[in-house]
Amino acid sequence: MFCQKCGTENKDGAAFCNSCGTALKGPVPQTIGATSTETPNVKHQSIIKAKIATKEEQIGNISSLGPGLVIVLGILICLSIVGIILGLIFIGFGIWWSSSRENEKKRLQNEIRELELELNPEQPTHNEVIKAKIAKKEEEIRDLLFFHSSDEDKKKLQNEIKELEAELE
């Protein structure tokens, strides 16, 4: 059944349009508990009161808690993301600052070595000192091999040689 005023489709036998509330042509349904002595106007009013009570119940069942929680959760996620980004920026800055300070230290140490060489040109260079230490460690390894010493002693000396080679410039 369609409303003559707004054209909305309603259930067959409905007395009023669900959209605009206009009375629909057709038989008026009997309400539960209605007496035959009631006039059509009283029946109409009881139907409207029942509809109002149903709508009020539906309004009461609608909770605003869900959207509020979603908004709060969204804000927390945004703050977390911003916090993570800021944290990563600070970590990156800290790493950059630390490495630049280490590079500056190495540069200054190299300048000091160059100046020391200018003061005493006969003094062996750092690399020459390291190469001499490596040669001494290699000689110790040969002695260990000759005397059949433990592998642990050999590995220790080999590790010391690797460390000295890493110091070579």
pLDDT in tens, the chain (169 residues): 778 887 788 888 888 888 888 888 764 444 444 455 556 687 888 888 888 888 888 887 777 778 888 889 999 999 999 999 999 999 999 888 888 888 888 888 888 877 877 777 676 777 777 888 888 888 877 777 766 667 787 788 888 888 888 887 5
Q: How far apart are CA 79 and CA 51, in angstroms?
A: 46
CA distances from 108 to 32, 90, 95, 112 (A): 99, 27, 20, 6
CA distances from 66 to 63, 69, 73 (A): 7, 5, 11
- pTM of the predicted protein model: 0.33
Query: Which residues have a Cβ under 8 Å from the Cβ of 52 and sit 6 or more positions away?
Result: none
Domain borders along the chain are 1-61, 91-122, 124-169
DSSP state of 9: B
Question: Rg (Cα) of the chain, in Å, rounded?
Answer: 47
DSSP state of 22: P
Q: How far apart are CA 107 and CA 5, in angstroms?
A: 90
For helices 126-146 and 151-167, give the axis angle rounded to 10 degrees. 170
CA distances from 5 to 1, 11, 14, 24, 43 (A): 12, 16, 15, 9, 22
